[in-house]
Amino acid sequence: MRIIFMGTPDFAVASLDALIQSGENVVAVVTAPDKPAGRGQKLHQSAVKVYAEAHHIPVLQPIKLKDPAFLEELKSYQADLQIVVAFRMLPELVWSMPIHGTINVHASLLPQYRGAAPINHAVINGEKVTGVSTFLLQHEIDTGNILLSDQVTIEEEDTAGILHDKLMVAGAQLLLKTIEGLKNNNLSPTPQSTLIPESELKHAPKIFKENCQIDWNQDIDRIYNLIRGLSPYPAAFTSLNNKTVKLYTVTKEYTAPDIATGDYKTDEKTYLKFAGNNGYIHVSSLQIEGKKKMQIVEFLRGYRF
């Protein structure tokens, strides 16, 4: 099959690499336009573009997906199938173009956790299991008929970053199984509405800064899950002596705090812990505004309380 691949970040590269390594015929890649980044505002290429150019795959970078010139170029590749991994929402003009339609790889067990941030929300909600799904695109986002899915365990210490890497690999493997099933005509697309009632669905909307501030009045399990669910990006934050500090890795201590919620204790050498309503959160790595990310011992060595 002639395949067009659409994606932008590292998460998508694993799936693209799996396709190339298995000998699939990827005729072109569609990815985000180059963007200025960093202090020098140099143009930054997406991870997918870097990979595609290294493997001599044509790259399309439309600003608007309904641009007639882009649509004409896309059509010229005569794709049998399009694959979307961590890209933007596609107009019907695009997703309906190939004879076999467009497949999306999504980092959750659909229909649970539809939306832009399924990995973060699964960890924030304290899930023990999530997974990856492949489905056929249709009008409403993340609602198309499911082709295949595969479970992935979430360990107690997993951050969103660790889970991202697990799902990245699982998604690439599931994509290859899905393509094999399409070739052999032995997949049975399953409507999502038949799996879980709408009232029981958990959603995964985009995360904004206001979602990242820690509420120390909550119990430490919820605080712990929020911190690891936002680590390493965008990172949960709190205040330390009137400065914003991002917390990346933490542990829990179940005990009745003898200080107010949100206050901290430290020996100024080896530990820093904040009080929740039923225990403490011990900080292992953090970043205070204006400084680099540090392990706690390194931070305490140079910080003056």
pLDDT tens, position by position, 78-114? 999 999 999 999 999 999 999 999 999 999 999 999 9
Q: 2-200 sits in which CATH class?
A: alpha beta
Q: Could you tell me if 54 and 2 are in contact, meaning their C-beta atoms sit under 8 angstroms apart?
A: no
CA-CA distance, 88 to 180, in Å (whole number)?
25
Cβ-proximal residues to 156 (8 Å cutoff; 6+ apart), any chain: none
Q: Is the pLDDT of residue 249 over 90?
A: yes
Residue 49 has pLDDT above 80, yes or no: yes
The pLDDT of residue 112 is 98
pLDDT for position 234: 97
Class of domain 209-302: alpha beta
Judged on CB neighbours under 10 Å (0-12, 13-18, 19+), 14 is: buried
| C-beta of residue 65 within 8 angstroms of C-beta of residue 58 | no
Query: Tell me: the pLDDT tens digits for 12-35?
Result: 999 999 999 999 999 999 999 999
How far CA 33 is from CA of 26, 46, 142, 206, 289, in Å, comes to 20, 8, 23, 21, 30
Ordered by start, the domain boundaries in the chain are 2-200, 209-302
pLDDT band at 263 (very low <50, low <70, confident <90, very high): very high
User: Can you read off the two tokens belonging to residue 111?
Assistant: 């229909």
pLDDT digits (tens, 9 = 90+) for 143-179: 999 999 999 999 999 999 999 999 999 999 999 999 9
pLDDT of residue 38: 75
Distance CA(280)–CA(285), nearest Å, equals 15
Contact between 84 and 90 under an 8 Å Cβ cutoff? The reply is: yes
Place of tokens 């292992």: 284
